């Protein structure tokens, strides 16, 4: 039996007439790194605040370590939290920030010193202990903020967009550090972000949220390769997946999707159910699953519109079947605009969604 570290049961939250979360269920396994991913306003931070006990829920229950904490104060829930704006107490030194919670809890000084020393060693912030937060850089501040969660010696870490205020370079550095921290501590971590790269790189599982509802909860590769619906497919991936509206047809015993008069054979697509002819669908293909000028079963002609060299990759925008399609190829292969190319699609990696329900077929 796997122990659930955090469980959310039928959680609802509304502010007046506005419903932010609706009968939401979520189980986070012990030691799991779960990322709540969504654009702003989708309720991901609200959910995290509910788990932390900073917001009172309207309906439902929250369990941490199989203990019902729905009505508990934040400090009694066994959580540590890291905020986007670091939220360090500006008038205290780093040491004061780390030890504040422990002093409030009236721990013996020897224990406080031990925990502060351990946390500052893990995060390599010993030289900063006597400084004020205003004398630290953004990356150092966020390290201290993580340290403040660390000294609490808790089972569950909650991160609320911790890297959003940092510049790109620091963000990728700290991302690696958080991952390393998780690997060494093996704590449960719930991490809110709108950044899909953070989600894909850090998570054991990702919960993609929209309008207070979890759209898909799965490991990063499943989310990326087999999105459950059109929203998840469009949200994950940069540049985003190419979508074509079309209709399923039966041509000579083969299933094809006809898009603006162009047929795309679907033999290789791992369909979940029968693909009835006449059904309106949306075909989704990621930019890297289109081959350019390589041998393939089915060849489509296209014209290069714009080329975006990005170093390691080269991104081509092409015209196909009256639509614009993006294709990712190796950075060394260059194509001038206006050049005619031959495309072939890897349908085993494609996604097909019902045009009405927007769910995966």
Partner 1 sequence: MAEVVTLNNPSAKAGTVTKLAAGPKGKKPRPMLSPRNIMIYGALIFAAAYYLLPLYVMVVTSLKGMPEVRLGNIFSPPLEITFEPWVKAWSSACTGLNCDGLSRGFWNSVRITIPSTIVSIAIASINGYALANWRFKGADLFFTILIVGAFIPYQVMIYPIVIVLREMGLYGSLTGLIIVHSIFGMPILTLLFRNYFSSLPEELFKAARVDGAGFWTIYFKIMLPMSLPIFVVAMILQITGIWNDFLLGVVFTRPEYYPMTVQLNNIVNSVQGVKEYNVNMAATILTGAVPLIVYFVSGRLFVRGIAAGAVKG
Binding residues (CB under 8 A) for partner 1: these are 49, 52-54, 73-75, 79-81, 83-85, 87-91, 100-101, 104-105, 133-134, 148, 152, 160
CB of 109 to partner 1, least distance (A): 17
Q: Closest distance between partner 1 and the C-beta of residue 136, in Å?
A: 9
- Could you give the CA distance from residue 162 to residue 145 in angstroms, rounded to a whole number? 9
| CA–CA separation, 261 and 64 (whole Å) | 55
The CB-of-100 to partner 1 minimum distance in angstroms stands at 5
CA distances from 323 to 23, 105, 256, 290 (A): 40, 62, 18, 15
Q: How far is the CB of 27 from partner 1 (least distance, A)?
A: 23
Radius of gyration of the chain measured on its C-alpha atoms: 25
Q: Which residue from 207, 164, 205 is spatially nearest to 182, judged by alpha carbons?
A: 205
Query: Closest Cα to residue 223, out of 196, 242, 244, 243?
Result: 196
Q: Which is nearer to partner 1, 81 or 190 (CB)?
A: 81
Residue 320: name the closest of 346, 350, 290, 348 by CA.
Answer: 290
Smallest separation (angstroms) from partner 1 to the CB of 89: 6
Residue among 102 and 232 whose Cβ is closer to partner 1:
102
Instruction: Give the helix, strand, coil percentages of the chain, each rounded to 5.
Output: 30, 35, 35
**Choice between 96 and 309, CB closer to partner 1:** 96
Cα-Cα-Cα-Cα dihedral of 72, 214, 28, 218, to 10°? -170
What is the secondary structure of 181-197 as a DSSP string? Answer: HHHHH--EEEEEES-HH
Q: In the complex with partner 1, which residue's Cβ is closer, 90 or 261?
A: 90
Q: Cβ 104 to partner 1, closest distance in Å?
A: 5
Q: Using the Cα atoms of residue 167, residue 172, residue 175 and residue 180 in order, give the sign of their dihedral.
A: negative
Minimum CB distance to partner 1 smaller for 52 or for 302: 52
Query: Residue 81 or residue 200: which is nearer to partner 1 going by CB?
Result: 81
User: Closest separation between CB of residue 156 and partner 1, Å?
Assistant: 11
Q: Are 39 and 91 contacting, i.e. CB atoms less than 8 angstroms apart?
A: no
**Residue 38 contacts residue 194 (beta carbons within 8 Å):** yes
CB distance 146 to 185 below 8 Å = no
Minimum CB separation of residue 299 from partner 1 in Å reads: 55
């Amino acid at each position: 039996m796997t122990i659930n570290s955090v469980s959310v049961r039928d959680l609802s939250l509304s502010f007046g007439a506005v419903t932010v979360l609706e009968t939401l269920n979520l189980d986070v396994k012990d030691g799991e790194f779960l990322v709540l991913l969504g654009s702003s306003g989708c309720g991901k931070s609200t959910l995290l605040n509910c788990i932390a006990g900073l917001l009172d829920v309207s309906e439902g229950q929250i369990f941490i370590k199989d203990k019902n904490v729905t009505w508990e104060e934040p400090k009694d829930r066994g959580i540590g939290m890291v905020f986007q704006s670091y939220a360090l107490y500006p008038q205290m030194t780093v040491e004061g920030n780390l030890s504040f919670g422990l002093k409030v809890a009236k721990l013996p000084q020897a224990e406080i010193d031990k925990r502060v020393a351990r946390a500052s060693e893990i995060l390599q912030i010993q030289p900063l202990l006597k400084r004020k937060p205003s004398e630290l850089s953004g990356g150092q501040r966020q390290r201290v903020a993580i340290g403040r969660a660390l000294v609490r010696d808790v089972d569950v870490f909650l991160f609320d967009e911790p890297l959003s205020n940092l510049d790109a370079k620091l963000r990728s550095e700290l991302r690696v550090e958080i991952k390393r921290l998780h690997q060494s501590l093996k704590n449960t971590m719930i991490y809110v972000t709108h950044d899909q790269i953070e989600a894909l790189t850090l998570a054991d599982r990702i919960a993609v949220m929209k309008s207070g509802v979890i759209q898909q909860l799965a490991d990063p590769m499943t989310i990326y390769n087999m999105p459950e619906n059109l929203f998840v497919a469009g949200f994950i991936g940069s540049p985003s997946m190419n979508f074509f509206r079309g209709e399923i047809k039966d041509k000579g015993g083969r299933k094809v999707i006809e898009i603006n008069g162009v047929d795309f054979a679907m033999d290789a697509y791992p369909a979940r159910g029968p693909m009835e002819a006449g059904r309106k669908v949306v075909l989704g293909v990621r930019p890297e699953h289109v081959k350019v000028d390589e041998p393939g079963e089915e060849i489509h002609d296209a014209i290069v519109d714009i080329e975006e060299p990005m170093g390691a990759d080269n991104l081509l925008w092409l015209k196909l079947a009256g639509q614009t399609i993006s294709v990712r190829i190796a950075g060394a292969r260059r194509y001038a605009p206006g050049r005619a190319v031959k495309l072939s699609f890897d349908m085993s990696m494609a996604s097909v969604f019902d045009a009405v329900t927007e769910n995966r077929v």
